[in-house]
Amino acid sequence: MTQSRKRQLKLGIGLQGAGGHWRDPEVESNGAVSIAAYQEYARIAEAAKFDFGFIADSAYITKHSTIPFLSRLEPMTALSAISAVTKHLGLVGTFTTSYSEPYTTARQLASLDIISDGRAGWNAVTSALEGVARNHGHDKLHDHALRYRIAKEYIEVVKGLWNSWEDDAFTRNKETGEYVDLDKLHTLDHVGEFFKVQGPLNLERSKQGHPIIFQAGASEAGRDLAGRYADAVFTSFEDADLEKAKQTYRDIKSRTASYGRNPDEVLLFPMISPVVGATAEEAQERYEEGNQYIDVDYAVKYLSRYFSFFDFSQFDLDQPLPELGDIGQNSFRSMAEYYLRIAREENLTLRQLAYRATNPRGDFVGTAEAIADKFQHYFEERAVDGFIVAGSHRNLRNFTKLVVPILQERGLFRTEYESDTLRGNLGVSFPVNRYTEARNQTAIHG
Ligand SMILES: Cc1cc2nc3c(=O)[nH]c(=O)nc-3n(C[C@H](O)[C@H](O)[C@H](O)COP(=O)(O)O)c2cc1C
C-alpha cells in the first residue's frame, strides 16, 4: 500500500441484476438476466465511489437450487458489458481453478483488464459443489486438499502468463515502423503436477499490470492460498463476530508476511447486507419484511447448498438438529463447519438454522449513523479492510444515500476516486514484470 496514503475503508458491491430480490418493485422481475439491471446497479455503486462490483458464481444447479442461482449471467460476459458503462468501478468475477484451463482464464481476465483499462479482478475459487465436477467431465469432485493443490499451481500459471509481455514491449511507433520489441516477449514453458502450459500469452499487460487476485475459502488451505497470492480476500463473517473477524484478519496478514509479502497489500472483505432505517425499529421492520418473502423450504434449500445439497428434509423443522458428523467437509468446508457449530452450540432447530443462513442479521440493521459506527469500529479494530455490500437495488440506494456520506464526512471513505485502476484505488502496488525486474537488476549491477 502506498505508505503516504492514509488507511481508508474500501467498499465493493455484490453485483447482481436482481436474483433473490426479483419481487422488489424497483427492479424488473427478470433482473437476474437483465444486463440493464446489472448496469444500473453498477452505476449506483460507481456514483457512490465504490471500489468494485463483485460477482460470485458457480456452474451447477439442481431443482433444489434457490432462485438467485437458477438462471443468471456468466460473470465474464456480464462484466464486459458493465465495463462499457462505467469508468472507475473495479470489475471482479469468480472463476474456478478446479475445472477450467489456466490459459483460457488468464486470457479472458487479461482481456477484461484491457477492455476496462485496468479495472479487472479475479476471485479465484476452488469449486465446492459435486455437480460442478459432473458438468466438466468428472464423476466426483476432487477432494478438498487436492482442489487447493491444483489452485496453487493454477494461479502460478496464470500469473506466469500475465508476465509474458513486459510493460513497454509494444512501441507501436508509426514513424519508425517498430510495432513491438520481441526481446520483451517471454515463454512460460510450465510443466507441473497438473498443468502443462507453454505460453506465451497472446495479450499484453494492462494499465494496472494485470488483474487483482481475490481468494474465497477460509480453511487452513484456503488461508494459506490467500497468504501466498491474494491481493484481497472474500471472507465469511460468521454473524459479524468481531473477535473471530480480528483473528482471521491477523491470521491472513501474518501468513502474507510469512510469504515475504507486505501484509498491508492483502485486504479483507466480508459480504454483508445492511438494512438502513430512519429509526432502529424501522430498520428492524425492513429486515423482517425481507424474511417474509423467504419460505422455509427456500431457506432449507439455501442452507443445503453449503453441504453440496445434503438432504435436510429428512429432519423435523422444529426439532434441534441431530449430530451430523462431518457432512460438508468436501463442499464449502469452512461454512459447513460454521453452520454445524452454531446449530450445536445454540441448539438450533432446522428452521432456525436455515433462516440464519438465508438472511443473516449480522450487526448491520439500524440507522445510518449506527451502521456507519459499526463500519468504523470493525475497520479501526482491524477486523476488516472494507465490506462487500449485498442486497436489493433499494437497499443499495439507501445505503449510498444515507450511510456513505457519513463515512465520507468522517474521513473514512473517499469522496473522489484516487485512481482510474482497481489496483490504484485499492492501494495495491503495481506488479513489476519479473523479466523487467531482472533486466533492471542487470543494468544496475552490470
Ligand atoms: C465467503 C466465501 C465465498 C465463496 N464464494 C464462492 C463462489 O462465488 N464460487 C465458488 O465456486 N466457490 C465459492 N466459495 C468456495 C470456496 O472457494 C471453497 O471451495 C470452499 O469454501 C471450501 O474451501 P474452504 O474450506 O477453504 O472454505 C466461497 C467460499 C467462501 C468462504
What is the chain's alpha carbon radius of gyration, rounded to the nearest angstrom?
Answer: 22
Sheet strands (E) in 9-112: 10-14, 52-55, 90-96
Q: Would the CB of 96 count as within 6 Å of ligand 1?
A: yes
Cα 175 to ligand 1 centre (Å): 51
Q: What is the DSSP letter of 231?
A: S
State the Cα–Cα distance between residues 383 and 379, nearest whole angstrom: 6
Residue to mutate, 98, 223, 239, 334, ligand 1, most ligand atoms under 8 Å from C-beta: 334
Distance of CA 331 from the midpoint of ligand 1 (Å): 9
Residue-level pLDDT at 237: 80
219 close to ligand 1 (CB < 6 Angstrom): yes
Topology, domain 10-280+363-445: TIM Barrel (3.20.20)
Ligand 1 close to Cβ of residue 58 (< 6 A): yes
Q: C-alpha cell of 195?
A: 498443468
Residues forming beta bridges with residue 125, ordered by sequence position: 96
By alpha-carbon position, which residue is closest to atom 25 of ligand 1?
333
How would you write the pLDDT of the chain (446 residues) with one tens digit per residue?
444 578 999 999 998 766 667 777 877 889 889 999 999 999 999 999 999 999 999 999 999 888 889 999 999 999 999 999 999 999 999 999 999 999 999 999 999 999 999 999 999 999 999 999 999 999 999 999 999 999 999 999 999 999 999 999 999 999 999 999 999 999 999 999 999 999 999 999 999 999 999 999 899 999 999 999 999 999 988 777 899 999 999 999 999 999 999 999 999 999 998 989 999 999 989 888 777 767 899 899 999 999 989 999 999 999 999 988 889 999 999 999 999 999 999 999 999 999 888 887 778 999 999 999 999 999 999 999 999 998 888 888 899 999 999 999 999 999 999 999 999 999 999 998 889 888 888 887 76
On the 0-12 / 13-18 / 19+ scale of CB atoms within 10 A, 408 is: middle
Nearest CA to ligand 1 atom 31: 217
Evaluate: CB of 97 within 6 angstroms of ligand 1: no
Residue with cell 429486515: 287
The crossing angle, in degrees rounded to 10, of helices 102-115 and 144-161 is 50
Q: What pTM did the predictor assign?
A: 0.94
Our answer on whether the CB atom of 211 is closer than 6 Å to any ligand 1 atom is no
Closest to 91 measured CA to CA, from 53, 51, 61, 38: 53
Q: Are strands 232-235 and 212-216 parallel, antiparallel or unpaired?
A: parallel
Domain ranges of the chain: 10-280+363-445, 295-358
- The CB density around residue 415, as the number of other CB atoms within 10 Å, is 11
Decide whether any atom of ligand 1 lies within 6 Å of the 270 Cβ. no
Cα distance between residue 353 and residue 341, in whole Å: 11
Task: Tell me whether strands 10-14 and 52-55 are parallel, antiparallel or unpaired.
Answer: parallel
> Of 301, 283, 110, 310, whose CA–CA distance to 212 is shortest?
110
Tell me if 421 CB under 6 Å of ligand 1.
no
User: What pLDDT does 442 receive?
Assistant: 84
Instruction: Compute the C-alpha angle 100/303/293, nearest 5°.
Output: 115
Q: 415-418 long-range contacts, Cβ below 8 Å, gap at least 24?
A: 415/49, 416/49, 417/49, 417/88, 418/5
Any atom of ligand 1 within 6 Å of the Cβ of 216: yes
* For ligand 1, mutation pick of 126, 127, 214, 248 (most atoms within 8 Å of CB): 126
